[in-house]
Structure 1
């Protein structure tokens, strides 16, 4: 892994929230890195392709990224206010997706499920 890709991975690992490429770029530049925004996007794509980071789309369609805590398939419970995310399992969703694929003759079925709400800390504020 290139040094710049490793820098992007470390920046993601330092935060429990999902972060945009622009946020990561700004943080890396503020820390003295000479990394370019295009390199940040490429690193995020490579990390996503390898399964090292999770990606989700915000309500406005922006891709945001977070370092995975686990290598197994999982979903996220994401705070709408602070973007803190918790990895959760969804065995019922897994069964339902497989059943729907079987019922309609589909193979290689995959899915993405993200659950949004307001975390306890933000609810108290």
Structure 2
């Protein structure tokens, strides 16, 4: 993989590049929506990538820590998605099929709510869950 994946150009600076990590990033690049580690492992196995499920989890968590992969809880499981860019962003996620749309961060709203309650914001996460038009 020669830097085609979003954020992959700086991947070497953030994480050690391995064959397994490359296979995981390539598979995530093919899917625009969130997917579970089990689903990712199944797709990798179907593509003849010999990677164990524990390695998939470990590599995904490394990629999350490096800011290259997003993760959220969807229907009581952790799911993952390749970040389109490294900028701060949030998601609108279908609870049924996992379809994902990146939405503009509601920074002024977050700051206003925090100020109203006397908080200073150090970080925040906003994920909006619902049903996409296809699943309604």
2:93 to 74, 78, 82: 78
How many Å apart are 1:100 and its aligned residue? 5.1
Structure 2 length as normaliser, TM-score? 0.78
1:21 to 37, 54, 57: 37
Q: Distance in 2 between matches of 1:105 and 1:90?
A: 19
Who is 1:31 aligned against? 47
Q: Distance in 2 between matches of 1:105 and 1:22?
A: 38
Q: Distance in 2 between matches of 1:29 and 1:59?
A: 24
Structure 1 length as normaliser, TM-score? 0.84
The count of aligned residue pairs is 119
How many Å apart are 1:14 and its aligned residue? 0.5
Who is 1:12 aligned against? 28
1:98 to 99, 111, 118: 111
Root-mean-square deviation (CA, aligned residues, Å) is 1.7
Task: Give CA deviations for 1:44-99 in whole Å, capped at 9, x if unaligned.
Answer: 01110111111001132x110001112110110111221110111123xx234335
CA contact (8 A) 1:97 1:110 kept: no
- Structure 1 residue ranges without an equivalent (≥5): none
Q: Distance in 2 between matches of 1:98 and 1:78?
A: 23
